[in-house]
């Protein structure tokens, strides 16, 4: 491990050109690195707003005091991880299917431009989600969320001077190994 600061390890996260957020049906084989191309099962959720993707982790614990009132332990009681992003491709059937549930979106036939979306309180589909980010120094960062589910949707604006967009909070659920996300960082040739 390094014993000094290294500015080469500092980076911003830019989206991978051509698409950075992808979903595939639950049970799809998970990527195990940052640079292998995703299989055709993964669908791009299109343009994301300039706010990018915000990852949040919440750890709750319970303080345990001894008889004198001193905290002697603080075991973790829960862990939750979420990703917040705003989808701005309102007419993207894959986005609508993720936000409203695939069974609530009728995708047009070849050459037909009509999309039918049924709004309901139905439980949303669980999917595999991948977020690809480009770091400085020609490195890629790939987040693989084996069990992702659209949780909350913010207000959807319908105004003359504002994009119709879906601000979504994606819940990362634990897989069989108890992991919510796998992250891979590697250099590109």
Strand 166-172, strand 139-153: pairing: antiparallel
Residue-by-residue pLDDT tens, the chain, 189 positions: 668 998 888 888 898 988 999 999 999 999 999 999 999 999 999 999 999 999 999 999 999 999 999 999 999 999 999 999 999 999 999 999 999 999 999 987 776 678 899 999 888 999 999 999 999 988 999 999 999 999 999 999 999 999 999 999 999 999 999 999 999 999 987
121 contact partners, CB below 8 Å, separation of at least 6: none
**Torsion angle, alpha carbons of 99, 102, 103, 108, to 10:** 110
Nearest-Å Rg of the Cα atoms of the chain is 20
Whole-number pLDDT of residue 54: 95
- Rounded to the nearest 5 degrees, what angle is found at the Cα of 39, between the Cα atoms of 38 and 40? 120
Q: What tokens were used for 51?
A: 């706010």
Q: pTM of the full predicted structure?
A: 0.89
């Amino acid at each position: 491990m390094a014993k000094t600061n290294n500015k080469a390890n500092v980076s911003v996260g830019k989206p991978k050109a051509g698409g950075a957020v992808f979903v595939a049906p639950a049970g799809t084989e998970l990527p195990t690195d940052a640079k292998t191309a995703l299989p055709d099962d993964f669908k791009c959720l299109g343009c994301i707003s300039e706010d990018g993707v915000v990852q949040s982790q919440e750890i709750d614990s319970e303080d345990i005091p001894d008889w004198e009132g001193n905290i002697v332990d603080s075991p973790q009681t829960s862990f939750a991880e979420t990703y917040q992003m705003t989808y701005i491709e309102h007419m993207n059937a894959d986005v609508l299917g993720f936000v409203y549930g695939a069974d609530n979106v009728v995708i047009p036939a070849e050459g037909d431009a009509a999309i039918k979306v049924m709004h309901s309180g139905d439980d949303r589909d669980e999917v595999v989600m991948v977020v690809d980010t480009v770091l400085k120094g020609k490195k890629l960062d790939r987040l693989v969320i084996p069990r992702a589910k659209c949780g909350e949707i913010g207000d959807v604006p319908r105004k003359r001077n504002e994009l119709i967009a879906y601000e979504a909070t994606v819940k990362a659920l634990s897989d069989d190994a108890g992991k919510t996300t796998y992250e891979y960082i590697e250099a590109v040739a």
